[in-house]
Structure 1
Amino acid sequence: MRLACSAGNPPAPNAPVAADDDMQDTMKLSLGPLPPCWPRERTHAFYREAADWPVEIIHLGEAAPGNGGEPPVVDWIELAAELADKGKQVVLSALALPAAASASGVLERLVAERRGLIEANDLAAVQLCRERGVPFVAGPALKIRSHAELRRLMDDGLVRWVPGVEQGREPLRALRDAVLAAGLPMPELEVIAYGRLPPIAREGSSSPRLDGIRPHGGEIVDLGPELPQLRELGVDVLRLCPRAEGMAAIVAHYHLARRSPQPPPRIAARNSCWHGEAGMRTADASRRLSQGC
């Protein structure tokens, strides 16, 4: 069985300056859905640890379909109840591949249980949530590009929006400004602060597609040093994509950073897409991390 993990070093020891106790956390932290093919035991162990981490939101499910070995839907529902009891907001992430592993039946069950919000990553999930009157998070696979699209989804029940990790700051700013200019409220904005950049967003990529969707096999990018820009943009939630090793240290790094007056050092690659640049500029090789969404 293929495991979606490999050994990696935790974040570099040079941390952001100590947090000011008088500063309030202005952004929440969330754990994104798992990479594919984590075995059941590893999945349960990961969430047992995550229940005690300083994250407010935990996504359950996988970012892409695996090749078997993933926990069945009943496990996700049981985990949702356990994490909710620990005070976490639970989001059940629906795959962006409607043909994967009886996904339609799984999604029906997740919506029916109403153990938390649903993250919709395709229009079939949006339609089901709309029909059932269930509020949902618009996942990064929906690729919202205009305020008209965002408005339609808000009418359908969207309460939080997660742009793709490859979407840049200026397009997000323009979309937000268009929404506000139309006299509409912005939904909560959740940005992927730590996660893999899809190969489609990298120069010279020729990676294969799976049912029309490129697998996330790019470098891990880190928006920690861009926290002042994220605050200025009005970002509500910072998403951290799970990795098998060192995740507690990454969460601690961002928890300290969001409470600090100074931005933290970079712990992975620079997301040049965020800055509207072509290609990728990587951080020092010693600080590259090997696991992400």
Structure 2
Amino acid sequence: MTSICLEPAMTELPMPEIAAAAMPQTVAMPAFGIALGPLLYYWPREAVMQFYASVADAPVDRVYLGETVCTRRHEVRHAQWLEIAQMLRDAGKEVVLSTPVLVESDTDIAWMRRACAQDDYLVEANDLGAVRCMQGRPFVGGPHLNVYHADTLAWLAGLGAAGCVAPVEMDGATLAALAAARPTGMRLEAFVWGRLPLAFSARCFTARHHRLRKDSCEFRCMDYPDGLVAATGEGQAFFTLNGVQTQSATCLDLCAEALAMARMGVGMLRVSPHSSGTLQVVQQLAAIRAGEQAPAASGITPTGAQPCNGYWHRSAGIAWEARA
């Protein structure tokens, strides 16, 4: 099994002008929160506990917890997620419980209902079934609700949404327009670092790779703490297989756009957990927020991955455009 190495414990402006703007130290930096998205991979329980113990001491404002990809993964069960949630809340973090994205089994429904029924923590609703389960109580709309328009954002706000995560493939100009049109009091969140979660399927691609059936997968996902990279016939890394989830092989890095997003009105920037580099990226974002570091790409990716930011620039998502 592959080992896991964890770290120790506005006014809208045209995109080029925002990206190039210099911030004198006498000018207050626009504020943004730092969020740690749900863990998308299947790690051993000890590794999960060690990781979140480190998160407790990191400059993270909000932490999403729970199984969003495959509820067959049972190293950390619902009760243990709640124990982690309490530990992080005691450390001063805001905790959000995330629901599964692809709900197709009784187990998926049970997890979704447990998350939505409790009222100790905010809920990230990752499908419309979870939105309905919330029955008008406040929730965060997850990135897989695919909110591209202000009308959809307003509709979700009417159902109780206190915040919403923009789709990962949204470009900068569209995100700026969405932020400008968001309902009063709604906090918009954007994905800024990590492999992009692109699609879900009823099939388990990791099991299929090992010629196993989904229901007898032998939990092979645990062999790949950052997913299994698939290449084209020409040898180019193209996708990452993560059970029923398909991710990008490249790693999104929009840390250079952190202040631009804050000026747009994006209140929270999301970092996705990986087996290495995650908390280093969090520290860099915290330094940018404090004015101790100029906005720049993190230069950090999961082992072997190349950076990408193509969607932000309205080009192929796999592309990388260096900031001038």
Residue equivalent to 2:316: 278
List structure 1 segments (4+ residues) > 4 angstroms apart after TM superposition: 5-10, 19-25, 204-211
Letter in 1 for 2:155: R
Residue equivalent to 1:235: 266
Question: Does the 8 Å CA contact 1:81/1:115 hold for their aligned counterparts?
Answer: no
Q: For the structure 1 residues 77 and 7, does the alpha-carbon distance in structure 2 shift closer, same or farther, using more than 3 Å as the test?
A: closer
Shift of 1:174: 2.8
SS of the residue corresponding to residue 134 of structure 1 reads coil
Write the distance in 1 (CA, Å) between the matches of 2:282 and 2:167.
20
| Structure 1 gap segments, 5+ residues each | 11-18, 285-293
Residue equivalent to 1:110: 115
Letter in 1 for 2:84: L
Question: Does the 8 Å CA contact 1:176/1:186 hold for their aligned counterparts?
Answer: no
SS of the residue corresponding to residue 216 of structure 1 reads strand
Residue equivalent to 2:149: 146
1:82 aligns with 2:82: no
Superposition CA RMSD, Å = 3.2
Residue equivalent to 1:13: none
Question: Does the 8 Å CA contact 2:188/2:265 hold for their aligned counterparts?
Answer: yes
Question: Does the 8 Å CA contact 1:147/1:175 hold for their aligned counterparts?
Answer: yes
Q: For the structure 1 residues 29 and 279, does the alpha-carbon distance in structure 2 shift closer, same or farther, using more than 3 Å as the test?
A: closer
User: Relative contact order: is structure 1 or structure 2 higher (C-alpha 8 Å, sep ≥ 6)?
Assistant: 1
Q: TM-score, normalised by structure 2?
A: 0.71
Q: For the structure 1 residues 63 and 283, does the alpha-carbon distance in structure 2 shift closer, same or farther, using more than 3 Å as the test?
A: farther
Write the distance in 1 (CA, Å) between the matches of 2:271 and 2:62.
10
Q: Deviations over 1:210-248 (max 9, x none)?
A: 99x852243111111112321221111111101112322
Letter in 1 for 2:316: A
Q: Deviations over 1:40-72 (max 9, x none)?
A: 111111111101101110110134226534311
Residue equivalent to 1:215: 246
Residue equivalent to 1:256: 287
2:65 to 54, 57, 60: 60
1:226 to 240, 252, 257: 257
SS of the residue corresponding to residue 75 of structure 1 reads helix
Q: Give the number of the structure whose alpha-carbon radius of gyration is greater.
A: 2
Question: Does the 8 Å CA contact 1:160/1:188 hold for their aligned counterparts?
Answer: yes
1:170 to 173, 179, 185: 173
SS of the residue corresponding to residue 247 of structure 2 reads coil
Write the distance in 2 (CA, Å) between the matches of 1:252 and 1:218.
24
Question: Does the 8 Å CA contact 1:20/1:259 hold for their aligned counterparts?
Answer: no
Q: TM-score, normalised by structure 1?
A: 0.78
Question: Does the 8 Å CA contact 2:179/2:188 hold for their aligned counterparts?
Answer: no
Write the distance in 2 (CA, Å) between the matches of 1:6 and 1:101.
31
Letter in 1 for 2:288: A
- Percent identity between matched residues is 30
Residue equivalent to 2:218: none
Letter in 1 for 2:137: V
1:123 aligns with 2:131: no
Shift of 1:81: 1.5
Letter in 1 for 2:282: V
Shift of 1:20: 6.0
